């Protein structure tokens, strides 16, 4: 999801003080809005980047990525070791996906068992994960770009929790079971939750809570 669920580290903000004494590492939670890239530099000037949301310190990097059309919790840090820890398969990442149609119990079970998707022109079997249908739509504000007109049929929401992060994985998984993703938000990374963070809001935290 550029990779939505890709756990590769995004390019860091320019480090303008490389020769200065090392400052304490800093960590941030961000609600990445729709239409923003999970990076600080873009090839095209019209693209929106993270630096437009906050004055981050030099060397700040996004931990994993959300693609331009995906939203939700994005963690940023100046600590490369912390980035590696959070991107590991020991840390869960939970997503809420709004899908086209009323997702069935059978489709949810397929997601949990793992499905075959394409990664770089090769077939890949996703690992077993946790998935369940949300009985009610989550209370997120409307997206800045309308999802679609209601006359095109019903939609539904599903929670999917992964410990891996392949390129556009969630979108490919729901499409593989017949329910393409229309809107995607990451709501949790490890013990950190999106919670009441509003789109574009940045919160500095002392550290990231990780599983033992």
Q: Is residue 33 part of a domain?
A: yes
Least confident of 7-11, 55-59, 186-190, 204-208: 7-11
Interatomic CA distance for residues 99 and 119, integer angstroms: 21
122 within a domain of the structure (yes/no): yes
In this structure, the answer to whether residues 180 and 201 fall within a common structural domain is: no
Is a pLDDT exceeding 60 seen at residue 87?
yes
- DSSP tag of 198: P
> Does the residue 4 lie in any domain?
no
Give residue 20's pLDDT band: very low, low, confident or very high (50, 70, 90). low
pLDDT at 9 over 70: no
CATH number, domain at 198? 3.30.70.580
Q: Within this chain, do residues 72 and 154 fall inside the same structural domain, yes or no? A: no
Q: Are residues 185 and 196 in the same domain?
A: no
Residue 157 located in a structural domain: yes
Q: Is residue 166 part of a domain?
A: yes
Phi-psi region of 153 (alpha: psi -120 to 50; beta: other; left: phi over 0): left
pLDDT in tens, 108-144: 999 999 999 998 889 999 999 999 999 999 999 988 8
Q: Which residue has the higher pLDDT, 151 or 120?
A: 120
Give bridge partners of residue 27 from the DSSP assignment: 77, 205
Domain region containing 32: 27-88+191-205
Q: In whole angstroms, what is the distance from residue 2 CA to residue 69 CA?
A: 10
User: pLDDT at position 198, please?
Assistant: 95
- Span 29-62, pLDDT tens digits: 999 999 999 999 888 788 999 999 999 999 999 9
CATH of the domain at 154: 3.30.70.1560
What is residue 66's predicted lDDT score, i.e. its pLDDT? 93
- 185 and 97 in a common domain: yes
Q: Is 43 a catalytic residue?
A: no
pTM: 0.86
- For residues 61 and 146, membership in a common domain is answered with no
Q: 56 and 106 share a domain? A: no
Q: Is residue 168 domain-shared with residue 195, that is, in the same domain?
A: no
Q: How far is Cα 207 from Cα 77, in angstroms, rounded to an integer?
A: 9
Give CA–CA dist 15/8, Å, rounded.
19
pLDDT at 3: 46
Among residues 5, 15, 19, 67, the one annotated as catalytic is: 67
- Could you tell me if 97 and 165 lie in one domain? yes
Q: Which two tokens stand for residue 179?
A: 């329910």
**pLDDT level of residue 1 (50, 70, 90 thresholds):** very low
Query: Are 99 and 163 contained in the same domain?
Result: yes
Confidence class of residue 86 from pLDDT cuts 50, 70 and 90? confident
Are the C-beta atoms of residues 111 and 129 closer than 8 Å to each other? yes
Domain assignment present for 199 = yes
Which stretches of the chain are DSSP H helices?
A: 80-86, 105-113, 169-176
How many domains would you assign to the chain? 2
| Same domain? 32 vs 67 | yes
Residue 161 lies in a domain: yes
Reported confidence tier of residue 212, pLDDT bands at 50, 70, 90: very low
Q: Chain-wide mean pLDDT for the chain?
A: 88
Is the residue at 145 inside a domain?
yes
Assess whether 127 and 74 both reside in one domain.
no
Residue 152 confidence (pLDDT): 84
Residues 179, 106 share a domain: yes
- Least confident window among 94-103, 111-120, 200-209: 200-209
């Amino acid at each position: 999801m550029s990779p939505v669920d890709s756990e590769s580290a995004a390019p860091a903000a320019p480090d303008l003080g490389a020769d200065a004494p090392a400052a304490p590492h800093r960590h941030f939670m961000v609600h990445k809005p729709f239409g923003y890239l999970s990076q600080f530099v873009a090839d095209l000037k019209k693209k929106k980047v993270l630096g437009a949301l906050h004055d981050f310190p030099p060397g700040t990097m996004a931990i994993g990525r959300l693609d331009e059309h995906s939203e939700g919790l994005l963690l940023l840090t100046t600590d490369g070791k912390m980035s590696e820890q959070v991107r590991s398969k020991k840390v869960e990442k939970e997503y809420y996906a709004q899908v086209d149609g009323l997702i069935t119990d059978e489709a949810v079970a397929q997601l949990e068992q793992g499905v075959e998707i394409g990664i770089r022109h090769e077939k890949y079997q996703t690992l077993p994960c946790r998935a369940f249908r949300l009985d009610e739509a989550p209370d997120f504000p409307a997206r800045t770009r309308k999802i679609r007109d209601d006359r095109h049929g019903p939609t539904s929401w599903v929670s999917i929790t992964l410990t891996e992060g392949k390129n556009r994985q969630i979108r490919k998984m729901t499409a593989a079971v017949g329910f393409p993703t229309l809107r995607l938000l990451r709501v949790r990374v490890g013990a950190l939750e999106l919670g009441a963070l509003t789109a574009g809001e940045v919160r500095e935290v002392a550290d990231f809570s990780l599983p033992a």
